[in-house]
Structure 1
């Protein structure tokens, strides 16, 4: 394994199933075994979950293979620098905040807060520029003229266009921050203009023809474009009767279209420049708001780090400071790197690559290690640049020569031979096509190396025949039903083997994953799985804000903000809050009154309610408008003084609507909605602004609330993007005939080929806005973008196929269109129809089968048994739980709880007591030094002398209590075979937890966990607290069993204020 040669920098191209994470973990361990200090190794990945998994993999290997190094690393885990690229950039900025020009105590604004801030700034700028007022600066006036002109030409669509473009640029940060507006270089000159001006017959057929070619009148070309262009923007071939006098009509339309396109591109260039200046006006205001609040947003981290390292006058000192602490960098998932991330990594290692510097002189050879697979680069829409993978390889070879090693893994330890052979056949034809374009993906075949049972596995191509005059929804439902039937037959008669085992077992529901390109058609699959009594979990589902229960709560907020919102009130009346029949609502609509709420008022005598009723709302009797109106009126009154989240919860309780939202997922979603509202209120947002936020998020695909599914035997449904990095015994990919839908619209931020900047290759970014589809269709930059999107679709298909371990099922309707997964298969397998049956012309793969709808029906009929769907069958949908970006599991679970119950002071006392216990247990703090250490710690929290003295007395009293009961001696004082503040990572399936365990003591073959609770507690509260912290202690026990590979583990809670120890 040459990649373990720690004297060389290494890049590994590691295809799906080849053990990429294993390779990185073993490289990390090889450095440790060579004697490199853990704090001198920096490992970078792209998600918190991946960082946690990487730590876990390193620890597991060491635990199994090198116990001495394992225990040594456990002690130094706080020094492990395994982090995301954004967290690393954030740490760099905080350390050199003065040089970066930012607040060292900056916070990170969440996406919701950033979006709302941007929306407000956008509104203010557009309204300021769009209204007539006092004369301002020339730039301000130019922007105002452009906005007013756009509104004049396009009306309300003009405002949507402006807002949509500015939102697009905001979403493309940090790339749009470096972008320049494109400059159009005319492709036609005076010669073509003169030729058209003197074209025989044109002046006679078109009024004022000569004026069209004057600079001041060129916009008038728009009024006659139908004379030479078709509705889809192509040059006309036949002359209308009024234009038959124009000589050589087709040549005239062709040259007129060229001239027209040139004029339009000039206008687009001017428009793009003005949009760009308005965007930067908004951006300056947005940056000012962030600076005033002392926050950065997520995209700032890598961009400001890049600017600091490349443009700051002190960049050399910053690099020197980094270089002093780091000797080796490892980068995971390198194919997902964007330009800024690579620029940061490249700059940090600049001196290393030169072969010079203090490290080399001191005998240290620094290294860089990259691992990734360009075939799995599927985040182009987020800015990932697949070209960097190859570009970095070329640069590293040039920079390091013999000190650089490139390897391409050829083994696949995941999939059966049928899946491997199928993948090799398909993608060797789809990838690496002729053409020297840097974004085209290369392909190298790999071989099946999966240990265990040698059977080949299965690949099924299940194609349905399309029927005429059948709606899309019906087609999708039919395909979903066929998939459900195939799942039932697989459960009954398909056997598989665990990896490394020769023993086969029956397929289970939890072995199966349905991978969708997008979530648009999720509902038919859910319906079909319920119909056939197949348990399932939908990862992310259709989106949080589209769920029924959230739509009801949104309608309540809309009504409270505007009682005359008839649609929202109509939704509320029909909802589980009131359950009023449609016929009763229609009867009410016929009553007098301007709004539905006024009609409810006029339906009875409500004069006693004119002042509103405080307190608990009266009980609701179903179908009674009197009680309904009373509730609504009360809620409106209460909204003036009651927090909105509390009022919503009160509404759910008073109407007993919770009974209708009993499913675990629905309850979790409601709680998440309440948290969103609480956060908005905490940020000072009034009711009307909360409504505006909810209006903007209706179409957003926010993740649903997390529900734990550990141990569930259920089919998983998720997108291909969500499945990246995962594997499943059986993978089903439906809708393979669905055509690709390009993501590029009117606007484009794009990169031109790299040039040398600051001593390294660096592309330049440009922005252009081209509303005319026919011009975009012929524009090189838009065409390149489209070509890159198609290439990414090939990579997306590769990711989907390579998730399968035992069986792969591809389903869809027969279709001859090329721009789809099926189009890829048709090209590679030479699929065609013969006697109305699809046949494969070129695929001799054992285990490959072509199935029809009739085949699936027969297989299903052979095993089908009548089933009765249980009444309580639940639809449960979940999302994978990522690690929090800044807080550990324990701090998330406990800090807020302590703060709420006992206040901020006890939170600070608890933090300092934990530090004292840790230092004491590790032998770093003598008893006589405890008071001085505590005083310093309190002082660092900004406390005064009087406050410190009071809190020192509390700590002294608690320590004396612990001593008196023997806890100080038995638990806190240094012990052999013990750990203090031990960090851990626990993969619990759908969730990954990390945190610190206060104290672990090994006695004989039993591990004892001690968790300190430092807040005041009464005897009668202890039983309740033991139950409340049961989940936390259970996680700790699982973590210790996993870390030390033991079964015998007990956990105890130490209540330090009372000196009690309770087993938990």
Structure 2
């Protein structure tokens, strides 16, 4: 076992780079398992790539390497990097390749390794299964397809995407709601009524949503509960309730009060009346009433009011006792305390009991909903994404099946690499650790070193809503270390603090902020300090902090004609949006950054604006940038499809086509870019019509009266009405947006960002056609109901300012980042879900607890709320780390807030840490046309360096002039070559092959002997298989095959068959196509010119051998009459080999091509002469 060495003592960049190189070499060592903690920008993808390549160099089979990534994009990027590196090695000379290998392995390779390195590219491509670089969901899907029987899934199952899963869950919810009516008096109906009584309709809807979101966790809990006596038993045990506890029984236990009963109670009442103040007397009065109250529930409520505050907290002693009372009876202090504690504990037990009832009812609905959802998936042979993980985890740990699966996998996976390990959920870790179980057990099927590698960063774990738990990163590291150590293998924990992305200004600001203990809480499970170093020595950088924009003291009167949901121009979000837009305008094309060692002007694509959540600010900034007109800006990175105005216009058109009398939809369509009528036109068409007249009818009257604008609109709508009846939904909208110019019209009004939306809309129409009910009505209803969310990739290459959430920016970077703090708290109690998953036992699944109203809150839920708050605040700080480390050169921190400031906001954390008085901080003033605002600048002293300046034209290497013919009509399509099958070459000259077939004397000429056919097939199979077997083993193999395949033949015939094949395989002339250089069943394609016409050739050569000086083609002929001489070989057979030779000749210049025929009827061999092949080709050309 090995641990990482201490960080370098020196600040010398060379020392840090050298130390980092050593750590990267340790992390990529193919014979040791490793756990790598990699800071943002420290090159974790490089380490992953390097480890994969070193594993291949060490002899690992490509198919034995499993690399699990977090996203498909990450898998694609890593795969590309690996194959690009291996492809480069193919063409490098020995010196360059040797230098490359030495850089990653540390030792000079010999010639054998150089040759092997050059073959890695082809080996990785051609190995069945190839390199498995994929998401864990993709791996689990493949594994379940491999073992469907063991996993109890359909062998042909498909995976539901999010939209299809949501639709199926909607069906399940509908089935649940409709099932309660006919089952009146059932457990389901009673649970449904109980839920409605506790949470009303909105509470029911929220509960069903929570059940859907937590369905797998609920299913795991109920499955375990059924094994332990049932849900009721387990709930009571977890809640600390007795089996016979009821609400009524607990309420009855409030009285009598411990401490205040009997004589002590009488003493208290007497002293309170005589010497107590108004409060003590009020308590005494309440206690007398409680003692006389016959109803236990009402008495319990009275006692709670006496001893507890409205929030359920114990009242102070001063509410019960005064000095005069204590002077006479000091023991009353303990008596009151005991009574108060008893009431508080009883209240808590009562609320737990009520929560137990609510939760039990909720779980009844959950069980039915989950059952219906599972049945719907089973009927369709489908799994959702969560099923892939849970089914795989169950498969690998299933008793009786798990060991068999491990045995099979033990022969397939030797090395596991996990990317973004900090975001891996516990159940995903269980899959990974199960796969690696045999790696270190000493019971592996193969005696080789097998490794587990993980790379991640706890500080960047921001996906708790997907199940990620950052503490598992270090826990799994410790677990793996122990397992590796116990097996005697090597393990290393590696840190990579050196950043190749960000400048020292950004990184030192990050270190300074998280040097504060409170700010760093949650970044590391083991409390490691946050330490960064930058490799970009001398590169200019900057961190600016703007003053938070606060609301104005006096709100200005806004334009009453503005939309009710518009952000007022005086709102803090709008003010900040204008400031950022102005600053971006001052940067783009005016200031410079250093990119790849060269100085260049800043472009729009260099700027990234990060927000915590998508709110009004995002729209305000997009609008402010578009108003400038000189700064391209990307649209929202996530968008509900039906929320975009273009899709709303297309939906309105669909509604009109379904019902032309839909006046509102028609008005929306006419106002859309498709028709572009003014509001005055629409007013004329709508307001001036008759009482019972539709807008459509009135519009047609205008058109008939000669109004050109209305006439064009009516003609277009009439055309759409006709086409919508005859075309599929996709074809209709595709034609609308294509040949009818709809896309061009939308782009002209709404900008280029609408193109992506229209593409997603058309994709939805196509998906609906393949999976949904046909027809426009079904499509419109489905789109409105499902409202699918579109995630748009925001590529820097598009050279647009990108605005996105911090979550969406994970894995991205930008030279300049504006970090916008919306001023909201990390956590508020409104964020708490009504359906909780409470961990009451670390060895058991979390317990669901439904708290529909605050009155059910208890000590258990309060403790859980405190836990959730702590976790939310820790993730809030990790989000800040992720946001700040997206910046490569410059970081601008700004924000806006409401009337009340949040003292724990990102902005406050940064402004407190980077306060004036620090040597790197200086006060500053910033401005835009609306005014000035204060702030600070953070600058780290650096070594001045000069960089080569490049012009704007050089900065966009991928920006080239459009091809001259791009916008020209396409030339006529060339006529496709006529297909030609070499084995049927004779058909092009209409030659009859009659008589070539071996005929049986017992049947007519057109019939074939079954024995003859069988003999031909057996000979063909033996000639295919036996050449790959060593010569000394061929007789035995041939005999065994003959006995199995021809077991009903007479012994003499079977022996004759085997002898003829073995004799043929001993032919001297046939040896070249039987050796290692030969390959069986080689597919071949190409084109052949015959008599001035091109033919497309597609065929398959039975055996092909490429030798040093020649190429040998061998073809078998089964069930054909063997020729006596070369001249009597059928023309079609000669022509077939002539075609093969013509196709192969350009591929092997300078090599002679020999063509051979084997007739399996008598195992005879013919080598065709040059003359015979030439005559055959000539015959093809002349006929």
Structure-2 residue corresponding to 1:888: none
Secondary structure at the aligned position of 1:11 is classed as: strand
Deviation at residue 712 of structure 1 after TM alignment: 3.9
Shift of 1:149: 4.3
TM-score w.r.t. the length of structure 1 is 0.69
Q: What is the CA–CA distance in structure 2 between the aligned matches of 1:851 and 1:801, rounded to whole Å?
A: 22
2:34–2:452 Cα contact (<8 Å) kept: yes
Q: Judge which range, 344-353 or 367-376, deviates more.
A: 344-353
Other-structure match for 2:456: 372
Corresponding position of 1:924:
1079
Structure of larger gyration radius: 2
Q: Which residue is 1:522 aligned to?
A: 618
- Provide closer, same or farther for how the CA distance between residues 31 and 674 of structure 1 changes in structure 2, counting only shifts above 3 A: closer
Q: What is the match of residue 511 of structure 2?
A: 424
Give 1:546's aligned residue.
643
> SS state of the match for residue 849, structure 2?
strand
Secondary structure in structure 2 of the residue aligned to 1:764: coil
Aligned 8 A contact 1:203 1:209 in 2: no
Of 195, 202, 206, the match for 2:257: 195
Summarize the Cα distance change of 1:291–1:932 in structure 2 as closer, same or farther, 3 Å threshold: farther
Name which of structure 1's ranges 514-523 and 264-273 shifts more when overlaid on structure 2: 264-273
Q: Which residue of structure 2 aligns with residue 788 of structure 1?
A: 871
- Matches of 1:622 and 1:745, distance apart in 2: 59
Distance 1:350-1:928 versus aligned 2 partners, 3 A rule? closer
Q: Which residue of 2 aligns with 1:20?
A: 44
1:803 aligned partner: 886
Residues 208/511 of structure 1: CA separation in 2 closer, same or farther (3 Å cut): farther
Q: Distance in 1 between matches of 2:797 and 2:813?
A: 17
In structure 2, relative to structure 1, the CA distance for the partners of 1:929 and 1:29 (3 Å cut) is closer
Q: Secondary structure of 1:685's partner? A: coil
Q: What do residues 351-388 of structure 1 show as CA deviations (whole Å, max 9, x unaligned)?
A: 2233x2145xx541211111110111111111112121
Q: Give the distance between the partners of 1:826 and 1:254, measured in 2 at CA.
A: 45
SS at match of 1:519: coil
Q: 1:498 to 1:438 in 2, by over 3 A?
A: closer
The answer on 1:695 being equivalent to 2:784 is yes
Aligned match for 2:547, one of 455, 459, 463 = 463
More deviation, 632-641/456-465? 632-641
Given the two structures, how large is their TM-score scaled by the length of structure 2?
A: 0.63
**What does 1:1-400 correspond to in 2, within 5 Å?**
1=22, 2-62=26-86, 63=88, 65-66=100-101, 68-69=115-116, 71-78=118-125, 79-129=130-180, 131=181, 133=182, 141-151=186-196, 158-180=200-222, 183=236, 184-185=239-240, 192-195=254-257, 200-202=284-286, 210-211=294-295, 213=297, 262-354=349-441, 356-359=442-445, 363-400=447-484
* Aligned length in residues: 842
In 1, Cα distance between the equivalents of 2:600 and 2:674? 48
In structure 2, the CA distance between the partners of 1:974 and 1:375, relative to structure 1 (3 Å rule), is farther
SS of residue matched to 2:1080:
coil
Structure 2 CA distance, aligned partners of 1:254 and 1:633?
79
Quick one: distance in 2 between partners of 1:492 and 1:654?
Answer: 38
* Residue number in structure 1 paired with 2:920: 845
CA change 1:195–1:602 in 2 (3 A) is farther
SS of match in other structure, 1:164: helix
* Deviation by residue 1:501-537 (Cα, 9 ceiling, x = unmatched): 2x43333322221122222231111122123321222
Cα displacement (A) at 1:806: 1.2
Name the CA distance, whole Å, in 1 between partners of 2:832 and 2:770.
37
The SS at the match of 2:909 is helix
Identify the residue that residue 724 of structure 1 maps to in structure 2: 810
- The answer to whether the 8 Å contact 1:752/1:764 transfers is yes
Q: Paired residue for 1:575?
A: 672
Aligned equivalents of 2:582, 2:205: Cα separation in 1: 47
C-alpha separation in 2, matches of 1:226 and 1:647: 72
Q: Distance in 1 between matches of 2:685 and 2:736?
A: 23
Match of 1:404, SS state, is strand
Say whether residues 1:818 and 2:906 are aligned partners: no
The gaps in structure 2 that reach 5 residues or longer are 1-21, 90-99, 102-113, 223-230, 243-249, 262-282, 320-331, 557-566, 935-972, 982-1023, 1025-1072, 1086-1097, 1103-1131, 1153-1179
Deviation at 1:305?
0.2
Question: Residues 463 and 811 of structure 1 are in contact (CA less than 8 Å); yes or no, is this contact kept in structure 2?
Answer: yes
1:535 partner SS: coil
Matched residue, 2:997: none
**Is the Cα contact below 8 Å between 2:62 and 2:123 reproduced in 1?**
yes
Deviation at 1:11, TM superposition (A): 0.5
**Paired position in structure 1 for 2:1047:** none
Residue deviations 1:591-629 (CA, integer Å, cap 9, x gap): 89999xx633675899xxxxxxxxxx99996764x8878
Change (3 A) 1:711 1:375: closer
Deviations 1:99-130 (A, max 9, x none): 0111222211222122112111211211221x
Change (3 A) 1:278 1:636: farther
Summarize the alignment of residues 427-438 of structure 1 with structure 2, pairs less than 5 Å apart.
Answer: 427-429=514-516
Distance in 1, Cα, partners of 2:612 & 2:906: 10
Q: What is the distance in 2 between the residues matched to 1:974 and 1:292? A: 62
Number of the residue aligned with 2:1051: none
**Using the alignment, how far apart are the partners of 1:619 and 1:805 within structure 2?**
65
Change (3 A) 1:441 1:657: farther
The match for 1:683 is: 771
- Whose relative contact order is higher, 1 or 2, with alpha carbons under 8 Å and at least 6 apart? 1
CA change 1:121–1:711 in 2 (3 A) is: closer
- What residue is the counterpart of 1:1055 in the other structure? none
CA distance in 1, matches of 2:296, 2:730: 62
**Secondary structure of the corresponding residue to residue 702 of structure 1:** strand
What value does the CA root-mean-square deviation take over the aligned residues?
4.9
Aligned residues of 1:427 and 1:443 also touching (Cα < 8 A): no
Query: Are 1:415 and 1:448, in contact at CA under 8 Å, matched by a contact in 2?
Result: no
CA distance in 2, matches of 1:378, 1:691: 37
Structure 1 residues 750 and 428, CA gap change in structure 2 (3 angstroms): farther
Structure 1 gap segments, 5+ residues each? 241-246, 607-616, 757-762, 830-839, 861-897, 907-915, 936-955, 977-1057, 1060-1064
Return closer, same or farther for 1:654/1:35 CA change in 2, 3 Å cut-off: closer
- Aligned-partner Cα distance in 2 for 1:857–1:331: 51
Shift in Å, 1:421 = 0.9
Q: Per the alignment, do residues 934 and 965 of structure 1 end up closer, same or farther by CA in structure 2, a change over 3 Å counting?
A: closer
Distance 1:258 1:594 in 2: 70
**Whole-Å separation in 2 of the counterparts to 1:412 and 1:683:** 47
Give the match's secondary structure for 1:672.
Answer: helix
* Cα separation, partners in 2 of 1:584 and 1:268, compared to 1, 3 Å: farther
SS in 1 for 2:41: coil
1:487-566 residue pairs with structure 2 within 5 A?
487-491=584-588, 494-499=591-596, 501=597, 503-520=598-615, 521-532=617-628, 533-538=630-635, 540=637, 542-559=639-656
- SS across alignment from 1:428: coil
Counterpart CA distance in 1 for 2:704 and 2:141 is: 53
- For 2:264, the equivalent position in structure 1 comes to none
Q: CA deviation at 1:236?
A: 9.7
Tell me which residue corresponds to 2:106: none
Q: CA deviation at 1:213?
A: 1.9
Measure, in 1, the Cα distance between the counterparts of 2:1151 and 2:913.
66
CA deviation string 1:922-964 (max 9, x = no partner)? 96335699999799xxxxxxxxxxxxxxxxxxxx99x969948
Provide the C-alpha distance between the structure 2 equivalents of 1:41 and 1:193, rounded to a whole number of angstroms.
69
Identify the residue that residue 892 of structure 1 maps to in structure 2: none
Deviations 1:192-247 (A, max 9, x none): 45439997433787999642527xx99x999x9999876x888999999xxxxxx9
- Verify: 1:768 aligned to 2:849, yes or no: yes
Alpha-carbon shift at residue 46 of structure 1 (Å): 1.5
